[in-house]
């Protein structure tokens, strides 16, 4: 059986996959092939690991494809595709590290660790004036946008800070807020908004919601950059309406040179690194191998998704 790996795996992860594959499987890694050979290797695949360009799947779909393992949680770029084989994502694999990163960034905001790190690099001691500006995360009123795996992990971590947390989700029974109108009404009494929405919620956190946020409150985003009205967010930060922002994701990635978010005070950018964890690639391989065994037994893979429906 032929496996094509689009993912740019580390050397150690490629070796790990070769060792773990059952006998009779041939693997081709995109990163080990000349660019002109990529598409042909893809079209010959019976198994696929990784996230190839959507056009490859819409225009050059492998005729013998039996299973596709997406190596991310999000897959909105493939919405609407129809494949005759099962497709799975990695489920909640990145949820806990994403939550740790965004909570760490919020703590850095509240405790001015970003500012202190810059002062340390300059060997400049300021001390007492900074101390007077420090805030506590403990007991803050928080709204988490999204009740998926990342949102729930963030909620669990914030429990240790005794935060008053509400979730927003359209239909999830665990959420306390279910519509934009309910969210808009709650924002003036909220200290912290954490966006964990998927890309399918494009533009959800719009200018009117940003304007409704309590003056001095903080906005954080670890879902997809396209779910935030970024120009409106920048205006609110520049005007001093918001107390700061922690952004793992932005509308354009990488963020281009000269973009205002690079140099704005009280903005912390974590550069879409939030899902990082030890042996990250090997973990994705383990998810693929587990699903491969299920498919070989005629069972449905874990974290099965429906591309045409977007979830």
Would you state the pLDDT for residue 309? 65
| Pair (211, 248) in one structural domain | yes
- What CATH number does the domain containing 180 carry? 3.40.50.720
- Using CA atoms, how far apart are residues 61 and 106, in angstroms rounded to an integer? 43
Residues 199, 128: one domain? yes
Q: What Cα–Cα distance (Å) separates residue 309 from each residue in 54, 75, 79, 293?
A: 15, 11, 7, 26
234 and 282 share one domain: no
Q: Residues 84, 153: one domain?
A: no
Q: Within this chain, do residues 284 and 162 fall inside the same structural domain, yes or no?
A: no
Indicate whether this model's pTM tops 0.85.
yes
Average pLDDT over residues 214-241: 98
Is it the case that residue 311 has pLDDT exceeding 60? no
> 148 pLDDT exceeds 70?
yes
Please check whether residues 253 and 141 belong to one and the same domain: yes
Answer whether 33's CB lies under 8 Å from 41's CB. Answer: yes
**What is the model's pLDDT at position 307?**
86
Co-location of 235 and 107 in the same domain: yes
Query: What are the pLDDT digits (tens) for 63-74?
Result: 999 999 999 998
Write down the pLDDT at residue 197: 96
Per-residue burial over 205-221, b if 16 or more Cβ lie within 10 Å, else e, is beeebbeebbeebbbbb
Q: Are residues 85 and 112 in the same domain?
A: no
Taking 90 as the threshold, does the pLDDT of residue 108 lie above it? yes
For residue range 270-292, what is the model confidence (pLDDT) as tens digits? 999 999 999 999 999 999 999 99
Q: What is the count of structural domains for the chain?
A: 2
174-214 pLDDT per residue, tens: 999 999 999 999 999 999 999 999 998 999 999 999 999 99
By the 8 A CB rule, do 212 and 187 touch? yes
Q: 101 and 76: one domain?
A: no
Containing domain of residue 87, as a range? 2-93+278-309
Whether residues 46 and 8 share a domain: the answer is: yes
Q: For the residues 33-60, what does the mean pLDDT come to?
A: 97
Q: Are residues 139 and 37 in the same domain?
A: no
């Amino acid at each position: 059986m032929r496996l094509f790996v689009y993912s740019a795996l580390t050397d150690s992860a490629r070796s790990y996959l070769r060792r773990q594959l059952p006998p009779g499987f041939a693997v081709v890694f995109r990163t080990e092939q000349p660019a002109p050979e990529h598409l042909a290797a893809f079209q010959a695949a019976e198994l696929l690991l990784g996230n190839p360009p959507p056009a490859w799947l819409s225009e050059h779909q492998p005729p013998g494809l039996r299973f596709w393992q997406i190596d991310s949680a999000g897959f909105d770029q493939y919405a609407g595709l129809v494949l005759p084989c099962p497709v799975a994502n990695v489920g909640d694999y990145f949820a806990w590290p994403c939550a740790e990163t965004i909570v760490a960034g919020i703590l850095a905001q509240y405790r001015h660790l970003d500012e202190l790190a810059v002062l340390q690099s300059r060997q400049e001691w300021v001390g007492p004036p900074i101390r007077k500006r420090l805030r506590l995360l403990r007991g803050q009123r928080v709204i988490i946008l999204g009740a998926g795996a990342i949102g729930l992990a963030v909620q669990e971590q914030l429990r240790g800070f005794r935060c008053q947390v509400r979730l927003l989700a359209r239909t999830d029974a665990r959420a306390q807020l279910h519509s934009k109108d309910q969210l808009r009404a709650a924002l003036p009494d909220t200290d912290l908004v954490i966006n964990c929405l998927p890309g399918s919620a494009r533009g959800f956190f719009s200018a009117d919601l940003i304007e409704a946020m309590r003056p001095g409150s903080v906005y954080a985003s670890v879902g997809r950059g396209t779910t935030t009205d970024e120009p409106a967010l920048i205006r609110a930060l520049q005007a001093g309406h918001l107390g700061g922002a922690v952004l793992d994701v932005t509308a354009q990635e990488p963020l281009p040179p000269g973009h205002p978010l690079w140099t704005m005070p009280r903005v912390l950018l974590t550069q879409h690194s939030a899902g990082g964890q030890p042996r990250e690639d090997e973990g994705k391989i383990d998810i693929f191998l587990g699903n491969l065994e299920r498919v070989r037994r005629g069972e449905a893979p874990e974290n099965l998704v429906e591309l045409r429906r977007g979830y």
